[in-house]
Amino acid sequence: MDKRHTKISKFLSYVLRHRPDEIGINLDSAGWVAIDWLRAASAAHGTEFTRTELDYVVEHNDKQRFAISDDGLRIRASQGHSIDVALGYESRMPPELLYHGTAERHLPGIRLHGLVKGERHHVHLSDDRGTARSVGQRHGKVIVLEVRAGEMVRAGFSFYISANGVWLTEAVPYEYLLEPDPGTHGQPN
């Protein structure tokens, strides 16, 4: 995406995941808002974009962060909310292993508390190491942790998959994580 589309994408992430009140919109309980309302409120607060630009951002966002309703009238963020929404995802059986990319500096906290959702609704996991590495690189020197998701399910944990393929769970206790060996450059054995 070019600079203009990236700016729109970042704006949409902010208002649809964290602060719809900044532009005076309300999301429904599942996180949806009418596209016409979103565009009008955005323009009134200094961020104007066309429906064509919006459609382009939704379609070409590298992480597929947004979804448009089947009738084409509403939009929502696929996951990552810090506000109260019920996305309606059903519990699914994940692969035996999932991955979480993070900055190496977070390891002491992870060793104490496991992976926690923080201000978000869920911990975000990937089904491939490359995506996890890409996500973790945003935060510093990256490490990729393996999550023994199959064992977690057998122990009673639930997993969900978002519309854009991100695996979600409430928390990952440390005992279900595999850390990389120091000599493997962030790759678990």
Work out how many domains the chain is built from and give that number.
2
Residue 120 has pLDDT above 90, yes or no: no
Domain-located, residue 88? no
Domain-located, residue 27? yes
Query: CA-CA distance, 17 to 20, in Å (whole number)?
Result: 8
Tokens found for residue 139: 């935060």
Q: How far is CA 83 from CA 19, 30, 63, 119, in A?
A: 8, 11, 20, 8
Q: Which of 44, 77, 110 is the last residue of a domain?
A: 77
Domain-located, residue 85? no
pLDDT at 181: 65
Residue 182 has pLDDT above 70, yes or no: no
pLDDT at 153: 95
Residue 121 has pLDDT above 90, yes or no: no
10 Å CB burial of residue 138 (0-12, 13-18, 19+) is exposed
Residue 16 has pLDDT above 80, yes or no: yes
pLDDT at 7: 94
| Per-residue H/E/C for the chain | CCHHHHHHHHHHHHHHHCCHHHHCCCCCCCCCEEHHHHHHHHHHCCCCCCHHHHHHHHHHCCCCCEEECCCCCEEEECCCCCCCCCCCCCECCCCCEEEEEEEHHHHHHHHHHCEECCCCCCEEEECCHHHHHHHHHHHCCEEEEEEEHHHHHHCCCCCEECCCCCEEECEECHHHEECCCHHHCCCCC
107 and 180 in one domain?
yes
pLDDT band at 119 (very low <50, low <70, confident <90, very high): confident
69 and 123 in one domain?
no
Tens of pLDDT, residue by residue over 44-77, are 999 999 999 999 999 998 778 898 999 999 999 9
CATH number assigned to the domain comprising residue 178 = 3.20.170.30
55 and 22 in one domain?
yes
Domain of residue 129: give its range: 97-184
Domain-located, residue 68? yes
Tens of pLDDT, residue by residue over 82-111, are 777 777 778 899 999 999 999 999 999 999
Choice between 64 and 32, residue whose per-residue pLDDT is larger: 32
pLDDT at 189: 41
Domain-located, residue 156? yes
CATH number assigned to the domain comprising residue 24 = 1.10.10.970
Tens of pLDDT, residue by residue over 158-176, are 999 987 788 999 899 999 9
Residue 180 has pLDDT above 90, yes or no: no
